[in-house]
């Protein structure tokens, strides 16, 4: 069974299409990245899978159920969360939110152990009593990853997880993700194509339509079509240009 | 100073100060961290429609304000989610519609509305015994609601989208929280009046947030600050013959200013 299945989905905002006839299947052990320019509908696609946006046409199933039911088995790391930096909450309590089980069911001791395990996984255990707003962008992102991990998900969705963190922290974050892919499928949205070829196994190129879905290497040839302009890709650890130079200047 | 406690009105006023401080500390904490100050201001002013309705049909204005306040909370909560209108516009509309209907209701009612001013600006020294009982009931409802749905309210305040994904019924609990705001507004009307309610729903919590980063501690601290602010304001207004509601707000404003300076210096 596929973990998430998006079939011929159309989404409109104010009558203008955000997603046109998009189909995408996420299987066990996938490490898939959705890439595309700003406004391509990447976040919209994630929200469709999470049942936060209802598609106008098409169908979505998550773990064989409608998204609003299946999403409880998804770990979700949203794009830079807009919270007040003075918000009175500790790192531990933020992660504990991921163990939510329903109305009137309090957190158990086991929940607290799972939270500590996840904080150790993301190397944030020593910050557990700090107020979340006092952490750096990269540290916060690790906390939000831990909050998704405590759901013990089989599918992890991340929306631009490294957009607001510096390059060193970014590299460490992707290495952390790579260490998780044995346990769960990962679907990562980014416009940062430089990381894609190094860490992920497959790529979906999105610009309202889905242009390509396959192994990461093949994607590089499709990028120009997606971005609709010549693209240079300089990947980490690859000392040469992957695509040709701009020729129109 | 102690002898003024022999007056029943003063004992009632102190009891009212304590009872409303519980409501405003607990609910005010969510008003501040959920950033629904403007919505709460709207609910408070819309409650004036209920006051007017009470005059018109000849029942206690404060009792009439309860359903009116809860209904305007639900109305603001539902309207503000409609993207076409925008939350701040929806709040502005219900804020003024509530007040306008209150003015019209009072005009239509027979006779003169002698204590109208006290509903607008509060009058803690004239709180009758039955209003204390009502405040107590409202406190029980508010504390019960927050006790049952504490982690959901905190989750929604921090990150509504993630909360929805993990299964918190965000829409319903948002409305419930606004209803609790509505109930605390009613409890507070006697003390500071509809115009100044929002001060007691924000200032104690805003001060408390300077000194803790734990929501539960913030609530307790807000209640304590609320009690101290209202009691101090009450005595100053009694001694100086000043309007009580406004004096309480000014005292809390002074404490807020002082703690802001203190906080800035510590950095």
Query: Is there a contact between B214 and A103 if contact means CB atoms under 8 Å apart?
Result: no
Kindly state the average pLDDT of the residues B19-35: 96
Cα radius of gyration rounded to whole Å, chain B: 18
Query: Is there a contact between B213 and A89 if contact means CB atoms under 8 Å apart?
Result: yes
Residues from A in contact with B at Cβ < 8 Å: 50-52, 71-72, 74, 76, 78, 81, 83-84, 86-90, 93-94, 97-98, 100-104, 106-107, 131, 147, 151
- More confident site: A57 or B113: A57
Helices (H), chain A: 42-49, 67-70, 91-96, 109-121, 137-149, 167-180, 193-199, 216-219, 223-227
Output the average pLDDT for chain A: 85
Mutation to test the A interface, candidates B29, B165, B167, most A Cβ within 10 Å: B165
Query: Is there a contact between A90 and B164 if contact means CB atoms under 8 Å apart?
Result: no
Q: What does B151-178 look like in DSSP terms, one character per residue?
A: HHHHHHHH-HHHHHHTT--HHHHHHHHH
Q: Where are the domains of chain A?
A: 4-227
What is the distance in angstroms between the Cα of A74 and the nearest Cα belonging to chain B?
8
Note the pLDDT tens digit of each residue in B37-80.
999 999 999 999 999 999 999 998 999 999 999 999 999 888 87
Of 3.30.465.10, 1.10.3470.10, 3.90.1150.10, 2.40.50.140, which CATH number belongs to B2-260?
1.10.3470.10
Chain B positions in Cβ-Cβ contact with residue A50 (cut-off 8 Å):
165
Most confident of the ranges A14-18, A126-130, A136-140: A126-130
Query: Is there a contact between B163 and A84 if contact means CB atoms under 8 Å apart?
Result: no
Chain A positions in Cβ-Cβ contact with residue B163 (cut-off 8 Å):
97, 100
Q: Which CATH class is domain A4-227?
A: alpha beta
Cβ neighbours for B15, distance < 8 A, ≥ 6 positions apart: B132
Chain A positions in Cβ-Cβ contact with residue B215 (cut-off 8 Å):
88-89
Chain B positions in Cβ-Cβ contact with residue A155 (cut-off 8 Å):
none
Q: Where are the domains of chain B?
A: 2-260
Q: What is the ipTM of this complex?
A: 0.89
Closest residue in A to B148 (Cα–Cα): A104
Is residue A128 within 8 Å of residue A117, measured between CB atoms? no
Q: Is the pLDDT of residue B4 over 90?
A: no
pLDDT confidence of residue A166: 81
Closest residue in A to B32 (Cα–Cα): A87
Note the pLDDT tens digit of each residue in B75-134.
988 887 775 777 888 899 889 999 999 999 999 988 777 788 889 998 898 898 999 999
């Amino acid at each position: 069974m596929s973990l998430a299945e998006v079939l011929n989905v159309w989404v409109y905002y104010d009558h203008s299409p955000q997603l046109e006839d998009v189909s995408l299947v996420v299987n066990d052990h996938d490490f898939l990245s959705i890439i595309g320019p700003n406004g391509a509908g990447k976040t919209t696609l994630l929200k469709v899978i999470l049942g936060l946006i209802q598609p106008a046409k098409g169908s979505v199933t998550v773990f064989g159920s409608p998204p609003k039911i299946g999403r409880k088995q998804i770990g979700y790391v949203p794009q830079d969360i807009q919270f007040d930096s003075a918000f009175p909450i500790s790192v531990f309590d933020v992660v504990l939110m991921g163990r939510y089980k329903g109305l009137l069911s309090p957190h158990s001791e086991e929940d607290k152990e799972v939270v500590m395990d996840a904080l150790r996984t993301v190397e944030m255990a020593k910050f557990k009593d700090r107020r979340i707003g006092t952490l750096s962008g990269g540290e916060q992102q690790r906390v939000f990853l831990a909050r998704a991990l405590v759901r013990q998900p089989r599918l992890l969705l991340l929306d631009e997880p490294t957009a607001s963190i510096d390059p060193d922290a970014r590299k460490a974050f992707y290495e952390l993700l790579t260490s998780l892919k044995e346990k769960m499928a990962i679907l990562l949205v980014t416009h940062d194509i430089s990381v894609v070829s190094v860490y992920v196994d497959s790529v979906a190129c999105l610009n309202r339509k889905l242009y390509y879905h396959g192994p990461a290497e093949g994607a590089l040839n499709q990028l120009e079509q997606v971005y609709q302009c010549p693209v240079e890709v300089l990947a980490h650890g690859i000392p040469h240009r992957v695509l040709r130079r701009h020729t129109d200047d | 100073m102690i002898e003024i406690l022999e007056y029943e009105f003063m004992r009632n006023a102190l009891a009212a100060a304590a009872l409303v401080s519980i409501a405003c500390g607990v609910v005010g904490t969510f008003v501040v961290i959920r950033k629904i100050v403007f919505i709460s201001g709207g609910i408070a002013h819309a409650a004036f429609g209920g006051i007017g309705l009470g005059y018109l049909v000849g029942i206690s204005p404060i009792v009439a304000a309860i359903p009116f306040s809860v209904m305007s909370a639900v109305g603001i909560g539902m309207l503000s989610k409609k993207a076409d209108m925008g939350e701040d516009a929806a709040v502005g509309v219900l804020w003024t519609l509530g007040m306008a209907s209150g003015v019209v209701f009072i005009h239509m009612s027979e006779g003169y509305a002698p204590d109208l001013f006290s509903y607008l600006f509060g009058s803690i020294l004239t709180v009758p015994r039955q209003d204390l009982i009502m405040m107590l009931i409202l406190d029980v409802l508010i504390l019960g609601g927050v006790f049952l749905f504490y982690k959901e309210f905190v989750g929604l305040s921090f990150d509504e989208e993630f909360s929805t994904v993990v299964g918190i019924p965000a829409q319903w609990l948002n409305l419930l929280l606004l209803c609790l705001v509505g109930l605390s507004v009613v409890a507070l009307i006697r003390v500071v009046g509809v115009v100044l309610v929002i001060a007691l729903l924000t200032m104690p919590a805003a001060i408390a947030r300077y000194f803790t980063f734990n929501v539960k501690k913030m609530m307790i601290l807000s209640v304590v600050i609320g009690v101290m602010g209202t009691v101090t304001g009450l005595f100053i207004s009694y001694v100086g013959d000043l309007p009580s509601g406004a004096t309480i707000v000014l005292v809390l404003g002074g404490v807020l200013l002082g703690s802001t300076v203190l906080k800035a210096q510590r950095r």
